[in-house]
Structure 1
Amino acid sequence: MNQSDFLEVVLPFKDKVFRLAKRLLVSREEAEDATQELIFKLWKNKSKIGNYKNVEAFAMTMTKNYCYDRLKSKQASNLTLVHSNYKEKETSLDKKLEYQDSVNQVHQLIEKLPENQKIIIQLRDVEQYDFEEICKMVDMKPTAVRVALSRARKTIREELIKKHNYGVS
Structure 2
Amino acid sequence: MTREEFKSAIVPLQQPFYRLARWLMNNDEDAEDISQEIILRLWKMRDRVSDYNNIKAFGLKMTRNLCLDHLKKKGRNSVEFQASHDNGHSTDENRIEASDHLNLVRQLIRQLPESQQLVLQLRGVEELEIDEIAEVADMTPNNVRVVLSRARKKLKEQYEKYQ
User: What is the TM-score with the length of structure 1 in the denominator?
Assistant: 0.86
**CA 1:81 to 1:130, structure 2 compared with 1: closer, same or farther past 3 Å?**
farther
Moved more, 64-73 or 135-144: 135-144
Match of 1:38 in 2: 38
What are the ranges of 5 or more consecutive residues in structure 1 without an aligned counterpart?
85-90, 165-169
Match of 2:117 in 1: 118
Q: Distance in 2 between matches of 1:22 and 1:83?
A: 13
Match of 1:138 in 2: 137
SS at match of 1:47: coil
Overall identity of the aligned pairs, in % = 39
Q: Distance in 2 between matches of 1:82 and 1:46?
A: 36
Does 1:4 find its partner at 2:4? yes
Does 1:101 find its partner at 2:81? no
SS at match of 2:74: coil
Q: Distance in 2 between matches of 1:38 and 1:76?
A: 21
Give the number of aligned pairs: 158
Match of 1:154 in 2: 153
Q: Distance in 1 between matches of 2:156 and 2:77?
A: 30
Deviation at 1:114, TM superposition (A): 0.8
Instruction: Say whether the 8 Å CA contact 1:21–1:64 is kept in structure 2.
Output: yes
Moved more, 5-14 or 120-129: 5-14
SS at match of 2:80: coil
Deviation at 1:11, TM superposition (A): 2.4
SS at match of 1:132: helix
**Once the two structures are superposed, what CA deviation does each residue of 1:8-54 show, in whole Å capped at 9, x if it has no partner?**
11123221111001100121111000101101111111111111111
Q: Distance in 1 between matches of 2:83 and 2:38?
A: 19
The CA RMSD measured in Å over matched residues stands at 2.1
> Post-superposition, which runs of at least 4 consecutive aligned residues in structure 1 deviate over 2 A?
74-84
Q: Distance in 2 between matches of 1:156 and 1:77?
A: 22
SS at match of 1:140: coil
User: What is the TM-score with the length of structure 2 in the denominator?
Assistant: 0.89
Moved more, 2-11 or 64-73: 2-11
